[in-house]
Amino acid sequence: MKKYLLTRQELSQLLDRLAKETNLYAPVKDKTGATWGKVKNTAEVHLEEVNTREPAKGFIFPRCEVLLRFDQKGNALEPEPPEEQIVFGIRPCDARAIAFLEKFYTIEGKTDPYVKARREKTTFIGLACNRTAPTCFCLALGGSPHDATGMDLLLTDLGDLFLAEPLTAKGEKLIAGYPEAKNEHLTAGAKLRKKAEAEIPLRIDTAKLQEVLPKAFASKIWETLALNCVNCGACTFLCPTCHCFDVTDETVRGSTVRCRVWDSCQFTLYSRHASGHNPRLDPRARYRNRVMDKFYYTVEQAGVISCVGCGRCIIACPANIDIRTTVERLLKEFPEE
């Protein structure tokens, strides 16, 4: 697809216009780095961090969302449809996760209408990573710091200029009228991509992982891998692809709503039956489920590994568990036959 050029000032003007016309979200500064916030002008946008503390999944799958409202007679009513929103500054790992969620929530004819409607109303303007964090490992899983999967428009910061690659009609619309990039700009972008990719040394043989994981299920190795896990669930809440939710009714001042909220397979109650029987009572079984889900189950379900290598689970883990180490250990302990 063709690529276009914007000056830094033109990008600011574009964002200022979008902030006036619609709901514009972007990384903003907070006490510990960057988080997602609704912005009124470009000055509020904070792109100094490699990534936001929270993933961008909440834009299509909010942490808490009203599924239904009930009237006084108990009749269930659907909520108002979501508003248009533009998300600026999403990184390639998070956008890849959006593509996964979109696929997962719409597979096999059983579509989640809430996620679908939100994705349709959302435009993702991505920003390629020219630098990476020590916890980044997108490249190991088929992604890249300059990957465009899941975005509507991808921007690459060339310094004074931004290279803009529209991926969808929504992206095309945003970039209409700007001049086309020349070869020298494309070369500069490719150079930055190569440099960023070189910063991520880890490689994982993902094809081999598909053979190893089913074999490793019953292994005692999980006792070692999950020894420190306290099942706090931080990894799952900060994971851009974790899709589990709980459904709960709330009544506030006589008004009743049915909400869904993020849930975590790391919690004891997550899989407990009404009878009290719990198929994953053991903390090790719960850690194993998370790893198996990311690297094996979602491949069976949606055809893709659902870890995008953003590294948030590594940063957030209070027990210093590193999912990269887990995967490397599994590959090492179960060599090819």
Partner 1 sequence: MNNPYLPLPMRIERVVIENDARDLKTFDLAFVNDSDRKGFQFLPGQFAFLSIAGVGEAPFGIASAPHEPLIKFTVKRVGVFTTALHELEPGAIIGMRGPWGNFYPLELMTGRDVVIVSGGFSFTTLRATIAHLLLPENRQNFGKITAIYGARSPGELLYKDEIRQWEKSPDLQLVLCVDRLNGADWPKREGLVPNVLKEVAPPAANAIALVCGPPIMIKYTHPVLKDLGFKPDQIFLSLENRMKCGIGKCGHCNIGPKYVCKDGPVFSYSQLLNLPPEY
Q: Taking CB under 8 A as the criterion, which residues in 213-272 touch partner 1?
A: 217-218, 243-249, 251, 256, 258, 260, 263, 265, 270-272
Interface residue with partner 1, options 201, 273, 320, 336 (CB under 8 A)? 273
- What value, to the nearest 5°, has the Cα angle with vertex 135 and ends 134 and 141? 120
Interface residue with partner 1, options 57, 119, 280, 312 (CB under 8 A)? 280
The helix/strand count (H/E) of the chain reads as: 12, 11
Q: Kindly indicate which of the ranges 6-14, 43-51, 70-78, 122-130 contains the residues binding partner 1, using the contact rule CB under 8 A.
A: 70-78
Type of residue found at 206? T
Task: Determine, following the binding rule CB under 8 A, whether residue 301 of this chain makes contact with partner 1.
Answer: yes
Which distant-in-sequence residues (6+ apart) come within 8 Å of 134 by Cβ?
none
Task: Determine, following the binding rule CB under 8 A, whether residue 80 of this chain makes contact with partner 1.
Answer: no
Interface residue with partner 1, options 94, 112, 152, 165 (CB under 8 A)? 112
Query: Closest CB to partner 1 among 12 and 256?
Result: 256
Query: Closest CB to partner 1 among 279 and 318?
Result: 279
Interface residue with partner 1, options 70, 157, 168, 316 (CB under 8 A)? 70
**3 state SS of 78:** coil
Quote the least distance from Cβ 66 to partner 1, whole Å. 11
Instruction: Fill in the DSSP letter of residue 180.
Output: B
Which distant-in-sequence residues (6+ apart) come within 8 Å of 73 by Cβ?
none
Task: Determine, following the binding rule CB under 8 A, whether residue 3 of this chain makes contact with partner 1.
Answer: no
Interface residue with partner 1, options 133, 285, 304, 316 (CB under 8 A)? 285
Quote the least distance from Cβ 251 to partner 1, whole Å. 5
Which distant-in-sequence residues (6+ apart) come within 8 Å of 291 by Cβ?
213, 225, 323, 326, 327, 330
Could you identify the residue written with the tokens 């902030």? 19
Cα separation, 175 vs 163, in Å, equals 11
Query: Closest CB to partner 1 among 132 and 266?
Result: 266
Query: Closest CB to partner 1 among 93 and 242?
Result: 242
Task: Determine, following the binding rule CB under 8 A, whether residue 178 of this chain makes contact with partner 1.
Answer: no
Percent helix, strand, coil in the chain, to 5, is 40, 20, 40
Exposed, middle or buried, 251 (CB in 10 Å: 0-12/13-18/19+)?
exposed
Q: Kindly indicate which of the ranges 51-59, 88-96, 150-158, 286-294 contains the residues binding partner 1, using the contact rule CB under 8 A.
A: 286-294
Cα separation, 133 vs 311, in Å, equals 9
CA atoms within 13 A on the CB side of 209: 24
Instruction: Tell me which residues touch partner 1 (CB under 8 A).
Output: 67-68, 70, 73-76, 78, 104-105, 107-108, 110-114, 117, 217-218, 243-249, 251, 256, 258, 260, 263, 265, 270-275, 277, 279-280, 285, 289, 292-293, 296-301
